[in-house]
A and B are shown apart, each in its own frame.
Chain A
């Protein structure tokens, strides 16, 4: 069974440019999450999808970040325009339990974003 896959693994862009990160969850997992780890900080929650609906987006830092999950399958996270402080590793995770209540998530390897 394929795990959670993320693309690209590493992206280097200049300040002001746009980047789109993609996440393919484990097949059949209704719950999809985005987390972020900024250099030197802890991993922080960004948002949670249940199928195609945003269940909780309280962790999204500002309106430069847009997450979508059309059709309830893969998800994209777009940063537009990127700022220096957006640099970090973006993790995607999925789970199949009801609304993620067990806390058992399956994580991808992360997409490292470097903004110059």
Chain B
């Protein structure tokens, strides 16, 4: 069975400082991993995805994530936070042959202070 665990329910950073949102996964298969973001009163939006190509994945708005099989991690980072990054972020896994059945982590609320 596949699962993801987001290690922080809430992260607060100052504008201009780095962002780190942590995610560990568990999968019997070679996983496909995603980060989705939900801004207030908006639908979830795909931020980036890993599907067994390059282990460092770049996404939209300057975010990137690194797949580390030895650590079963897929942490999301951004060098410099912007006020508009304030949102809830979800780490997601999809196992082989699972179609669109996404398995979500608990979510991490990111606050950005001016």
Chain B residues contacting A104 (CB-CB under 8 Å) are 34, 46, 49
Contact indicator per residue, chain B 94-108, by CB within 8 Å of chain A (1) or not (0)? 100101111111110
In the complex, A90 Cα to B15 Cα: how many Å? 32
Chain B residues contacting A99 (CB-CB under 8 Å) are 99-100
- Tell me which of B34, B44, B100 contacts A91 (CB under 8 A): B44
Q: How close is B9's CB to chain A, nearest CB, in angstroms?
A: 10
B100 pairs with A100, CB closer than 8 A: yes
**B92 touches A (CB below 8 Å):** yes
Contact indicator per residue, chain A 16-57, by CB within 8 Å of chain B (1) or not (0)? 000000000000000101010000011111001000000110
**B52 touches A (CB below 8 Å):** no
B99 pairs with A48, CB closer than 8 A: yes
B46 pairs with A48, CB closer than 8 A: no
B43 pairs with A48, CB closer than 8 A: no
Chain A residues contacting B90 (CB-CB under 8 Å) are 43
B-to-A contact residues, CB < 8 Å: 32, 34, 36, 41-46, 49, 51, 90, 92, 94, 97, 99-107
Jot down 14 A-B pairs with beta carbons below 8 A, ordered by A.
Answer: A3-B43, A4-B43, A31-B99, A35-B104, A48-B99, A55-B99, A91-B43, A95-B100, A100-B101, A103-B49, A103-B102, A104-B34, A107-B44, A107-B45
